[in-house]
Structure 1
Amino acid sequence: MALTSDEMNYLVYRYLLENGFTHAAFALGHESRVDGAKVAEGDEKIPPGALIAFTQKGLQYCEIEANLNDDGTDVDADFSILSAKDLLSHTVDELKAIVEKRRNMSEEERKALREEEEREMRAKAEANGIKIENDVEREIKADEVTILDGHTSEVFICAWNPTKQLLASGSGDSTARLWTIPAGPSGREAQTKLSKPKVLEHKSDEGDAVDAMDTDEAKNGEFTADGSKQKDVTTLDWNADGTLLATGSYDGQARIWDASGKLVRSLKMHKGPIFSLKWNKTGEYLLSGSVDKTAIVWEVATGAMKQQFAFHSAPTLDVDWRDAQSFATSSMDHSIYVCKLGDDKPIKSFKGHNDEVNAIKWDPSGTLLASCSDDFTAKVWNVKKDTCVHDLNEHEKEIYTIKWSPTGPGTDNPNLPLILATASYDATIKLWDVDSGKCLHTLEGHTDPVYSVAFSPDGKYLASGSFDKNLHIWDVKDGTLIRTYHGEGGIFEVCWNKEGTKIAACFSNNRVSVLDFA
């Protein structure tokens, strides 16, 4: 299908409006007349960020094309990640030559390439006014890291089992995997002791193929080229005692597995991809949020839907339990609702963000709710008040994720203050004092968007992962950078094991890395 000049102009026009360039948008709209063109009639069906999304998909297509054999078949070697600069400035034949050269590199040449990337990263950081000390002791070497290799697409999420050294990972290859991590130090020796992971295949049931496809699903890209539903594993969560793992998928199903990898239940009611799901503290219920604009509470024992909450007017992006019976949901409609089982209306609504709310998290006591948004702000709410307690507005770009420290009243670390961490597309992390609403530290060291942060179980350290390929570990008390691991792909998620001795990170190059922290 060809893209007309009017349609392209309209996508640019929408991009300018969405990013606040109203004068430029007005000039383009007036000159090209796209604001009155027929393409504008379907404005409400064009998702935010469409121009960026389509451009990224085009670059991904070029990347895939460069990695294929001349006859169009898949390659047997590792998929080679190419930079946007490579993809935009080279022809397909030139890109194929780059990929071939990288595949034939010796280990010494790969090491030299990583060192060159590190130098470029430092130069980019310094150009942005970020000082990175050249501390050899701080760097975690590749041979100190255990690589979990087996996924065939990006690994979006990972989570440690709360009771054993078992790591779950979820990928765009339609599988989750369970990795048993060897005791002792990570690295080369641990690599030799690795057993094969349990593969949790997210298979489509009958009726999920072409005969079930409706027009809206097809338009939204919910189906693959062969007509089967996409089954990317978008989210996963362990129950409190580590006996069950829940996964959410792009096909709209939630699935429950036991710790051995056996499928226990499939939960089918959503009519769109699931982007968030959480167990309640007792493990009696599972909560899921979907693109279909709803949240559902499931009875785990039977697999039945306990209650569906349909209050949002746009996709539900995140959900989080407050206690065993109540929870919060956030959405692309800019709103947050607090709901309770048995009630047919929200018990509280929070409205204050002026863009989609990407993530929400209750503090350990269930008193405060933190939220973050594409409007560059994070906010802290209290159910006893209608307006936010704190408006945290020092980031310069969208805030993708937030995390509370496991400290303060009701935690295992009651003598340490409660802290909120916010991570942004502006490449920084900020640590906030929740009593005063003031920023304690701005953690500067990344050079690309920060997608994930995680506090250590004792609350003294923070791990962060970015698309600059770096995993950083920070001292929460003074905000200093104490350890760094440079991987070979962008990082989607980081997480600590229950003892706080190991950190896992999942990457865009289809791998998961496990490293030690002492």
Structure 2
Amino acid sequence: MAAPPITINADEVNCLIYAYLKDSGFQHTAFSLLNEGHLHHSVHLEKQIPRGELIELLVKALLYTEVEAHWRGNNDLTGNCTTGFSLLETHVCSLNPSIKPTVKLSANPPSVTAVTEPLSASASEPSDSVQKRKASTPVAEDAHSDKRQRLDDPSSVEVEEKNPDAPLPRRASVRTANSESAESSKKGPKRIKSPKSKSPALPTPTVISAAPLTAPENEDLGDAIIQLKGHEAEVFVCAWNPTHHNILSSGSKDAFVHLWDIPQVLSAKTKFLKPYQAMDCSSTKADADLTSLDWNCHGTLLSVGSYDATLRIFTVSAELYFESRLHKGPIFATRFSRDGKWLATASLDNTVCLWDVEKKQRRMQYKHKGICLDLDWLDDELFASCSAEKVIHVLSVNRAEPVAVLTGHDGEVNQIKANSSGTRLMSCSDDMTVRIWGMRKVKQPSEPDRLTVNVEMTVLEGHRNWVTGVSWSPKKLANGHELVATASFDTTARLWDADTGVCLKVFTHHKKPIYAITFSPDGNWLATGGGDGWFHLYDPVEMEKVWSWFSEHPKRAIFEMSWQQHEDGVDRVALSLQSHRVGLIDLTRIPALQKSRTPP
């Protein structure tokens, strides 16, 4: 029987382009296409189109074109061609006899997000307004930063298990940083007041091959894993209250923040829990996605970031404490200072705002040259922000200008995290590297209120696609060095010695991009969650995978995790799921995880 023909029509193409423009932030151009293409009447408009689907299809088309070009009877060129394929350039093979055939094409190409320019712009749209709505990073492909990561098609073919020392298949050159050669990506970082750059030669790390991704057959999990239903769309963020241990918050694409009253011991009744409070954050229905949740240290206030550019702060009793529309673009990150006095917000409008929480007013506005993607606090007065302009600003609550500008990344900086002491800052980027910045504050005798920051940098190299997540371990290595973990769109997670930059382990159990990575508060565990629906738990001491859970829902991606541990013996993880649910895993009730650990 002949296979059914492949069909495609203009309406489908228009809907793909419309989804791409919406994901990339080009609202005016998308609106024009919606009306001129009469997409209101399209049967495809309401269908869920995964984030970055248009680019994904273009990359697959290029891979097919590459196979076709190298399979026309000239087998000598199949593996020896050293010329890459691009979207708009005619391919001309280049044969280098000295290079042995090493290229192996995968059925599923590396995940790619939207490019930073639209396919076409409305003639009536000013160029500067287009620039302000440039696409975000892979973490924030509408932002994971994340905050709306690409929803991979669950039915797509899984990528083969990756060898970290093997070359990646060639793909479209959609970003300058990612199309550079390996040699150029290893060039020395730019100097910041002559820092001591540490880039040691990295030994080949040990790769842990993927074991069967199932829990032991004889393990009775009972009610150790439940899923809370209440949201009507993808759940992007979640956060446990730091003092009221029964309260869990979750934020969704449906524009609602839910507060859940979670009992200390999960049971069959917990499965039927409904949120006891639901806060509506939908000032506009078009851009209602919630991107960030953060509790202050006292557990009394919850900050909410949203794509509608509105900052909201709620009390623990779900009352609106403060609201502001001073940002002119989607808010990607909200972070309270460590003492709870200040709140910092990062936005697509290229600015970071500092808010006085008690006075309910903006204290300062800092401007970047690119969209602001993430931020984190070093102490009660210093914080850092990163952006698509490839730099990191160290900012003070007492100064309008940056205390330091950290340069060195060659791609958009997706996420930054400070260690617990605030003496180091870790950043990850589209340039496939992680940088650890050691900072020492210096008081100026003549100006007591002014600080300078002396910076030194360690570069972690090894990932083969965009690095989108980082985490500091609360425990140190046996040699006294700090331990860090990183996650990438190359589907691997890695453990590193933060002082030497040496990669200690590579975990290859995921088959799709990893969206979330975090150490447990006591440092006993490392957890990862990805677009393939798998939650993997690792022992960072033994450096091996010890347990896994799989979301069997067709929409199975895991976007974010929030870990809760306290003295009552509670040890559980909340998961933000694409399936419109919030997952809860009680680790104390999983037999495979019951082992002794020395407190940090």
Question: Is the structural similarity TM-score above 0.5?
Answer: yes
Across the aligned residues of Structure 1 and Structure 2, the Cα RMSD in angstroms comes to 3.9
Deviations 1:300-339 (A, max 9, x none): 11210011111x1111000111111111010011111101
| Alignment map for 1:22-171 (pairs within 5 Å) | 24-25=86-87, 27-28=89-90, 45=131, 47=134, 83=153, 85=155, 125=161, 130-133=209-212, 136-137=215-216, 141=221, 143-163=223-243, 164-171=245-252
Deviations 1:26-78 (A, max 9, x none): 62499xxxx9x997996974845899x99xxxxxxxxxxxxxxxxxxxxxxxx
| C-alpha contact 2:228 2:274 (8 A) present in aligned 1 | no
Alignment of 1:284 onto 2:353: no
| C-alpha contact 2:85 2:91 (8 A) present in aligned 1 | no
Counterpart secondary structure, 2:318: coil
- TM-aligned CA deviation for residue 491 of structure 1: 0.3
Counterpart CA distance in 1 for 2:356 and 2:209 is 49
- TM-aligned CA deviation for residue 200 of structure 1: 1.1
Counterpart CA distance in 2 for 1:39 and 1:22 is 28
| C-alpha contact 1:153 1:510 (8 A) present in aligned 2 | yes
Counterpart CA distance in 2 for 1:199 and 1:245 is 13
| C-alpha contact 1:165 1:497 (8 A) present in aligned 2 | no
Question: TM-score by structure 1 length?
Answer: 0.72
- Gapped regions of structure 2 (runs ≥ 5): 1-9, 19-53, 64-81, 93-116, 142-150, 165-207, 441-452, 589-600
Q: Which has the higher contact order (CA 8 A, sep 6+)?
A: 2
Query: Among the aligned pairs, what percent are the same residue?
Result: 32
| C-alpha contact 1:407 1:417 (8 A) present in aligned 2 | no
The one-letter code matched in structure 2 to 1:182 is P
| Alignment map for 1:207-286 (pairs within 5 Å) | 224=286, 230-286=287-343
The one-letter code matched in structure 2 to 1:507 is L
* 2:466 aligns with one of 379, 385, 398: 398
Counterpart secondary structure, 1:405: strand
Counterpart secondary structure, 1:190: helix
Counterpart CA distance in 2 for 1:328 and 1:469 is 32
* Worse-superposed segment, 317-326 or 382-391: 382-391
Counterpart CA distance in 1 for 2:136 and 2:90 is 18
Aligned pairs, how many?
A: 417
Counterpart CA distance in 1 for 2:136 and 2:371 is 15
- Closer, same or farther: CA 136–251 of 1 in aligned 2, 3 Å: closer
* 1:495 aligns with one of 553, 559, 562: 562
| C-alpha contact 1:379 1:388 (8 A) present in aligned 2 | no
Counterpart CA distance in 1 for 2:258 and 2:547 is 27
Corresponding residue for residue 456 of structure 1: 520
- Closer, same or farther: CA 512–134 of 1 in aligned 2, 3 Å: closer
Alignment of 1:199 onto 2:278: yes
- TM-aligned CA deviation for residue 276 of structure 1: 0.4
- TM-aligned CA deviation for residue 415 of structure 1: 11
* Structure that is richer in helix per residue: 1
Counterpart secondary structure, 2:270: helix
* Worse-superposed segment, 491-500 or 135-144: 135-144
- Closer, same or farther: CA 389–304 of 1 in aligned 2, 3 Å: same
Deviations 1:404-430 (A, max 9, x none): 12235xxxx999752111111111111
- Closer, same or farther: CA 134–462 of 1 in aligned 2, 3 Å: closer
| C-alpha contact 1:141 1:485 (8 A) present in aligned 2 | no
Counterpart CA distance in 2 for 1:142 and 1:125 is 32
| Alignment map for 1:359-398 (pairs within 5 Å) | 359-384=415-440, 389-398=457-466
- TM-aligned CA deviation for residue 432 of structure 1: 1.1
- Gapped regions of structure 1 (runs ≥ 5): 55-80, 87-119, 210-222, 225-229
Counterpart CA distance in 1 for 2:424 and 2:437 is 6
Counterpart CA distance in 2 for 1:29 and 1:414 is 52
| C-alpha contact 2:214 2:548 (8 A) present in aligned 1 | no
The one-letter code matched in structure 2 to 1:439 is C
Corresponding residue for residue 350 of structure 1: 406
The one-letter code matched in structure 2 to 1:451 is Y
The one-letter code matched in structure 2 to 1:268 is R
- Closer, same or farther: CA 335–187 of 1 in aligned 2, 3 Å: same
Corresponding residue for residue 111 of structure 2: none
